[in-house]
A and B are shown apart, each in its own frame.
Chain A
Amino acid sequence: MDILANIALGFERAVSLDALLFCFIGVTIGTFVGVLPGVGAMAAVALCLPFTFYLDPTIALIMLAGIFYGAQYGSSTAAILLNVPGTVTSAVTCLDGYPMSQQGRAGVALFITTIASFVGGTIAIILMMMFTPVVAALALRFSSAEYFMIMLLGLVAASTISPGSHLKSLAMIGVGLALGLVGTDINTGTVRFSFGQLALSDGVSLVAMAMGLFGVGEILSSIGGAPRKPMDAKSITLRSMLPSRSEVKSLINPILRGTGIGAIIGALPGSGATVATFMAYATEKRVAKDPSRFGHGAPEGVAAPEAANNSAVQAAFMPTLSLGIPGDALMAFLLGAMMIHGIVPGPRFLVEQPVMFWGLIASFWIGNVILVILNLPLIGIWVRMLSIPYNILFPAMLFFICIGVYSVNFQVFDIYAVIVFGVLGFLMSKLGYSPAPILLGFILGPMMEEHFKRALLMSRGDLAIFWERPISAVLLAAVVLLLIFSVREIMRQGRADKQRLIEEAQDAG
């Protein structure tokens, strides 16, 4: 079998000493930042990117990806023990995980999340191995028209599926697209929006932007939060973690359902792991015989979202690697990181770089195994991490942000950019504008412009190319449908707001 040979090829690369070492480093950093509330996976990947420039691209990717999925494991620890999600994707885990720990079953909850995460991740990796080559083979026949449409669909989907105001998400995508315009236009050589700054003629620095929006932004939102109470690490022993046999049996189905939901949502463009966890939780609540147990420490409420979360995170690599189209902000950043390393993800990536592609996927599974070891026998270490005071942690993070940004180009300008993006990201999120779509627009914008121009060059300026080619037409229809849905949703929200305001006015009067 072709696939088996490829998998063998991948594992051969992934078990080499350097790959194992950096996979281990990646997932350890990931778990670390995942456990710590106020440090997201995004900030951590952005922080580590500059230091991977010296590494072989495959190794660099293995490490960066490891941080990403490692953070998903770690973040549930904080959610269960402190009721503070380490990253947004484990917000749902708080709902039942924290009540479980209040009932003295923290160990069991941690065990369930780790196993559910592992099963979800593993199944998604197998699905990825089977379907990524299929998607890539299909995508080899795509022309620029299809690529433009997929990206447009991705952007529209990302803003309509995400929670919060659709209008504001769309506007943030527009801001991202605008930022993506800065720099030299490759087709005409025109320098756009550089404001006479030499540092801007190559475009806005991706690292500075991500670190500002996500790193500094997160720090600003976290400072002055409630002080965390120290945890007793000794109370969580391996023995206290084991669930009963009947409990294990009752969790098989929730884990499988969560995995399925996660894999589908994760593979779709524009929808990330966060949506998957909410959907998995809602599904469990709906199929449960006694929904009232949810929110009071139901193990299914922990197992299904955690499985969904990890399976979505792994599945999200599928469109990123096979089409070169990221599903969410984090994938967009990883895509940007790959391009900095000189790799262009897309259908040709699989054919031209089989060792890198299959090695990366094989490393995912190895990373998941390492994560189980890190999160079960060594859980005590991470629980102790939770007692690091934030006022030591955040200045240290800012130091890493500075040195990381500065070491990319040794340009002081980039540090100032971090400040601007940090304050901007923080203010925007306070006003209900989420910074994630900015990154998506920033990465996809230049690619869309390129494909749009190429498609029109191909058709000699006939816009009909976008609806005369069948796949492009289907994608266009999907975009239009999503936009109609979105407009209706916006109108409904608007009417509801107005109604509420009128009622409030009447109550007051």
Chain B
Amino acid sequence: MNTFGKTNWWEAGTAILLFALGAYLAWSGFGFGIGQLNRVGAGFFPLAVGVMLMGLAVAIFIQFRQSAAQPRKLPWRPIAAIAAGLVAFALLVTTLGFVIATAVLVFVTALGDRTVHVRRAAITAIAMAVFGYVVFIVLFRLPLNPFWW
């Protein structure tokens, strides 16, 4: 494949993001106050780290912008399922309670794997909810509401 001369936007984009992070750190560093050498301010380290990151980002950009490496296709299904499951747990644990939150978390994340059957995901979810209730509520006595009442 002829890749010479073409910009690899995955690599270049990461380098640009790193540069932006460095610039942000350095700029905030000035805001916090650099101080003097005998009285180093809160902004000195952010500035130093920021400058270092900017330099590295430039070097990475130069070295990798034409790299032929392509990330394989992103596994959207697992990413979406795991994110959704964790968000659901975060939302449910304070409202509907720990047991429901666990069951939903396990069920939703299990669907992230293409090979899983809905029935197996459901069974795993119920089993984990029971296990979680026994271990963390009954045995460990975590101060969590098991149910919504």
A73-81, A111-119, A308-316, A390-398 - the one binding chain B: A390-398
Question: Known contacts A392-B124, A416-B90: does B56 contact A181 (CB below 8 Å)?
Answer: no
Residues of A within 8 A of B75 (CB): 220, 223-224
Smallest Cβ distance from B107 to chain A, in angstroms?
8
Bound-state Cα–Cα, A177 to B120, Å: 43
Closest chain B residue, CB of each to CB of A212: B86
Residues of B within 8 A of A406 (CB): 89-90, 93
Closest chain A residue, CB of each to CB of B143: A410
Q: Which of B17-41 contact A (CB under 8 A)?
A: 18, 21-22, 25, 28, 32-33, 36-41
Residues of B within 8 A of A452 (CB): 40, 45
Number of B residues, CB within 8 Å of A: 77
Tell me, yes or no, whether B128 is within 8 Å of chain A by CB: yes
Q: Which of B116-149 contact A (CB under 8 A)?
A: 116, 120-121, 124-125, 128, 132, 136, 140, 142-144
A509 lies within 8 A of B28 (CB): no
Tell me, yes or no, whether A5 is within 8 Å of chain B by CB: no
A398 lies within 8 A of B82 (CB): yes
Question: Known contacts A398-B86, A461-B37: does B78 contact A224 (CB below 8 Å)?
Answer: yes
Tell me, yes or no, whether B16 is within 8 Å of chain A by CB: no
Proximity string of chain B (108-120) to chain A, C-beta cutoff 8 Å, 1 when within and 0 when not? 0110111110001
Residues of A within 8 A of B91 (CB): 412
How many residue pairs at the A-B interface have CB separations less than 8 Å? 199
A457 lies within 8 A of B38 (CB): yes
Bound-state Cα–Cα, A498 to B5, Å: 10
A399 lies within 8 A of B105 (CB): yes
Q: Which of A475-509 contact B (CB under 8 A)?
A: 490, 493-494, 497-498, 501-502, 504-505, 508-509
Residues of B within 8 A of A126 (CB): none
A178 lies within 8 A of B53 (CB): yes
Proximity string of chain B (72-112) to chain A, C-beta cutoff 8 Å, 1 when within and 0 when not? 10110011001101110111011000000010011101101
Interface of B is mostly: helix
Number of A residues, CB within 8 Å of B: 70
Shortest Cβ-Cβ A-B pairs, 3 listed: A461-B38, A505-B4, A461-B37
Q: Which residues of A contact B (CB under 8 A)?
A: 51, 165, 167-168, 170-171, 174-175, 177-178, 181, 185, 187-188, 190, 192-193, 216, 219-220, 223-224, 227, 390-392, 394-396, 398-399, 402-403, 406-407, 410, 412, 415-416, 418-419, 422-423, 426-427, 430-433, 445, 449, 452-453, 456-457, 460-463, 490, 493-494, 497-498, 501-502, 504-505, 508-509
15 contacts across the A-B interface (CB closer than 8 A): A51-B140, A165-B60, A224-B78, A395-B128, A398-B106, A399-B105, A402-B89, A402-B102, A407-B136, A407-B142, A416-B86, A493-B63, A497-B66, A497-B67, A504-B3
Q: Which residues of B contact A (CB under 8 A)?
A: 1-5, 10-11, 14, 18, 21-22, 25, 28, 32-33, 36-42, 45-46, 49-50, 52-53, 56-57, 59-60, 62-64, 66-69, 71-72, 74-75, 78-79, 82-83, 85-87, 89-91, 93-94, 102, 105-107, 109-110, 112-116, 120-121, 124-125, 128, 132, 136, 140, 142-144
